[in-house]
Structure 1
Amino acid sequence: MNLQTPPLTLGELNLSRHLRAGDRVLVAQGAGEPETLTRALVDAATEVADLTACIGMLTCDVLTGARGLIFESYGALGYAARLPPESLVILSLHYSDYIARLCDGRLPVDVVFVKLSGADENGDHHLGMGDLHLVNVARRARLVIAEIDPGTPRTCGTAWPRDVMIQHKVQGGTPHREIPQRPAGAVEDKIAHYTAQLVPDRAVLQIGVGRLPDAIAKHLCHHRDLGVHSGALTDAIVTLLETGVVTNAAKEIDAGISIAGAVIGGAALCKFINENPAVQLRPASYTHSSMQIGRLSRFYAINSAIEVDLLGQINTQTAAHREVGGIGGQVDFTRGAQISGTGRAIVAVPSTALKGMKSRIVPHVETVSLARTDADTVVSEWGVAELRGVSAQVRAERLIAIADPQFREDLSRDWHSKGQVS
């Protein structure tokens, strides 16, 4: 289909006629989630058997009400955590590996759903929310369907290639969904304060998504010449760009440019990045590459966790043996930080869960997402634990010191009872 062909309505398309039993449908994630198409997929699943939706972070709840769909993902992220466990298949893959497998066909895809901008003066549409791997997957797919959304930004470097066929275009236009976020409380504020103190001026940041990362970004407001090289571009990062805290002036590569893989944010973020040459989206093969990250001498990866154990092992995937997160790109960015000259990988985590009833610093994590050999720095509202280059005994002592006081004695007793004192 010519990219300048007017889009159809969903009624004119009738999605169920184009899908086949057993199809695997890759759905763009984050702010690029094509909500008009996912609503149609929910309806089509009642008519077409054995459909699998390959998803990432869901920022709206449309797919959570689906019946008859199987979901496959690299994590239970955003609204994906609300999907019935029996319908969600989690692949234990680092984000970079997951994307590579989609691109080379080891994870086959039959149908690709994307959200594109309105046409520019040249008639080109833009994959303005990122996830540029969708282009490579589309080259292999049987069917590519694009939702045309006039509110999608024309972010630099995201023009849809004219040699990649789009079989159908559908008119979209649902309003940008703001990422719901409760205000940071006293605990998050303390963690953000400690974390910001670890970050030097001129550092290059990768920051995760959520209330705590947003709080940390706000505490960086007095820093100078920060840079961005991240998997996600969020509202909090754009605030730092607008206020001049992020200039990218000290980056050894991509100087003056904020680099990200995908957009996860609302209308203000999309307006800011529209045709803005200071922001570029790149594929995961670039954003998550330890080789590229290692060229940045002050790379700081800032992420969170579900729990951390006394050996420094980190769980980002499960709680009460249920998938509620994922490995994502945290391992990719942690290892990149390790080879960055003065880089650091920080895990910021509240010391308790369940309204203070459960410690997040535990004797042993139930799932190891990040190995003890990758552990670097852990921050809670009680302080900072430096774990790199010290013995297991020192690690345990430092982690117990930043646990909630009500759990410290039990943690110490458990550590010594198992003879883990060397």
Structure 2
Amino acid sequence: MSHIQSGHSVYLGGGAGAPAILVDALCERAPDLRDVQLIHILTFIGAPYVDPKYEGSFRDNSLFIGHNVRKAVQEGRADFTPIFLSEIPGLFQRDILPLDAALISVSPPDEHGFCSFGVEVGTTKPAAESARMIIAEVNRQMPRTLGDSFIHVSRLTHVVETDYPLPEAPQGTSSPANLQIGEHIAELIPNGATLQMGIGSIPDAVLLNLHNHKDLGIHTELFSDGVVSLFEQGIINCSRKTFHPGKMIAGFLFGSKRLYHFVNDNAIVELHPTEYVNDPYKIAQNDNMVAINAALQVDLTGQVCADSMGPVFYSGVGGQLDFIRGAARSKGGLPIIALPSTAKNDTISRISPLLPEGSGVTTT
């Protein structure tokens, strides 16, 4: 970490591929650093750098807010840049957010010297390729995913060998309301459809209701364990996809050890950067594209808020509009916004005449 200097802009690998040991090592250098900007999407590890004791050393800039930085953003101690996932790589490639360094986690190199970005290719690969310096954890437990997911070990400026398990998604149960939503959505999905869905109780509920479907495909920014179950049952086989037939296309992954084992060297799974996966025109090349996205609130004019509660930032723009547009352009496509109609034990309606003042309009 001695190569990180005051005033540097540093990208932190995201999702389940966040480099936990490098992050901790960077925080240990805090007394020697001033005004280091840390840029990242959603990460599934701790975020010690937003602790108030590091104020002045680090300034966090989240491109998608997770629970680990939400309080800091809401208190004004960290920043949030709202942006479509499809456009994040361009921030780095066009030097809108120039990067002095990227801290990443990759798989061990193969016999030809190529490391895989593993479970987080989407924004980490373009960030690393744009950074002046790449500091990498080579984690023995990072799966080797295929697709546009490789970097040669010679491109890595500094390497630390590590061996620890990746973060795993908590296994919860869906509420009765979400299970019913899942049933309704499953009825709308035709055989042979290509699906986009993320993680969470509503996507999980949809997957639980697809056991009578046939020949489903996957083109999504993120998938988890539910997809593995349907693949093992022969329901997901990608055989009728019209774009990347025979392949599950994604940007990043988050789930259990079962998922990480499934994707390791699995030729049916390809990971690509988000400027490709989330490009609405590429999404639309999938016939019968069904995009399922959640929201916090909708109003009667058709405005969808998915990233804030009034003026209070909560999550991020993500890929919702990318996939809504792509599915709408797809032959036979279907964009879906899904949410329970109420919140807080049925005391608050999520459907209102107009969104509350200050709400972000994610989709309209």
TM-score of the aligned structures, taking structure 1 as reference length: 0.80
Q: Hey, what does 1:81 align to over in structure 2?
A: 70
Counterpart Cα distance in 1 of 2:154 and 2:351: 49
Q: CA deviation at 1:104?
A: 2.0
Opposite residue 182 of structure 1, the aligned amino acid is: G
Counterpart Cα distance in 2 of 1:73 and 1:81: 9
Alignment CA distance shift 1:91-1:51 (3 Å): same
Percent of aligned pairs sharing the same letter: 30
Counterpart Cα distance in 1 of 2:121 and 2:328: 25
Which of the residues 35, 56, 62 maps onto 2:20?
35
Which of the residues 295, 307, 312 maps onto 2:297?
307
Counterpart Cα distance in 2 of 1:117 and 1:62: 22
Counterpart Cα distance in 1 of 2:204 and 2:268: 21
The 8 Å contact of residues 116 and 149 in structure 1, kept in 2 or not, is answered as yes
Opposite residue 320 of structure 2, the aligned amino acid is: Q
Deviates further, 320-329 or 299-308:
320-329
Extract unaligned runs of 5+ from structure 1.
Answer: 1-14, 373-422
Counterpart Cα distance in 2 of 1:213 and 1:63: 30
Query: How do residues 184-195 of structure 1 correspond to structure 2 at under 5 angstroms?
Result: 184-195=174-185
Q: CA deviation at 1:124?
A: 2.7
Opposite residue 257 of structure 1, the aligned amino acid is: K
Q: Hey, what does 2:362 align to over in structure 1?
A: 370
Alignment CA distance shift 1:158-1:200 (3 Å): same
Counterpart Cα distance in 1 of 2:64 and 2:96: 18
Which of the residues 320, 328, 331 maps onto 1:330?
320
The 8 Å contact of residues 75 and 323 in structure 1, kept in 2 or not, is answered as no
Alignment CA distance shift 1:46-1:199 (3 Å): farther
Deviates further, 155-164 or 49-58:
155-164
Counterpart Cα distance in 2 of 1:325 and 1:132: 18
Which of the residues 59, 84, 87 maps onto 1:97?
87
Alignment CA distance shift 1:293-1:315 (3 Å): same
The 8 Å contact of residues 130 and 158 in structure 1, kept in 2 or not, is answered as no
Report Cα offsets for 1:232-260 as digits up to 9, x if no partner: 12222222222221110111121111000
TM-score of the aligned structures, taking structure 2 as reference length: 0.92
Q: Hey, what does 1:280 align to over in structure 2?
A: 270
Opposite residue 48 of structure 1, the aligned amino acid is: L
Opposite residue 156 of structure 2, the aligned amino acid is: I
Report Cα offsets for 1:346-375 as digits up to 9, x if no partner: 111011122222111112123243343xxx
The 8 Å contact of residues 124 and 159 in structure 1, kept in 2 or not, is answered as no
| Matched pairs, number | 357
Deviates further, 197-206 or 156-165:
156-165
Which of the residues 152, 157, 171 maps onto 2:147?
157
The 8 Å contact of residues 15 and 120 in structure 2, kept in 1 or not, is answered as no
Counterpart Cα distance in 2 of 1:81 and 1:208: 20
Deviates further, 72-81 or 52-61:
72-81
Counterpart Cα distance in 2 of 1:133 and 1:187: 33
Q: Find out whether 1:290 has 2:280 as its counterpart.
A: yes
Counterpart Cα distance in 2 of 1:132 and 1:312: 29
Q: Hey, what does 1:210 align to over in structure 2?
A: 200
The 8 Å contact of residues 225 and 259 in structure 2, kept in 1 or not, is answered as yes
Secondary structure at the residue paired with 1:194?
Answer: helix
Opposite residue 92 of structure 2, the aligned amino acid is: L
Q: Hey, what does 2:45 align to over in structure 1?
A: 60
Extract unaligned runs of 5+ from structure 2.
Answer: none
Deviates further, 302-311 or 161-170:
161-170
Which of the residues 34, 39, 44 maps onto 2:29?
44
Opposite residue 292 of structure 2, the aligned amino acid is: I
Secondary structure at the residue paired with 1:301?
Answer: strand
Q: Which has the higher contact order (CA 8 A, sep 6+)?
A: 2
Q: Hey, what does 1:166 align to over in structure 2?
A: 156
Q: CA deviation at 1:84?
A: 4.4
Q: Find out whether 1:72 has 2:57 as its counterpart.
A: no
Q: CA deviation at 1:62?
A: 3.6
Report Cα offsets for 1:86-113 as digits up to 9, x if no partner: 1221212211122221222111111101
Counterpart Cα distance in 1 of 2:95 and 2:256: 32
The 8 Å contact of residues 304 and 347 in structure 1, kept in 2 or not, is answered as yes
What is the RMSD computed on CA atoms of the aligned residues?
Answer: 1.9
Deviates further, 127-136 or 301-310:
127-136
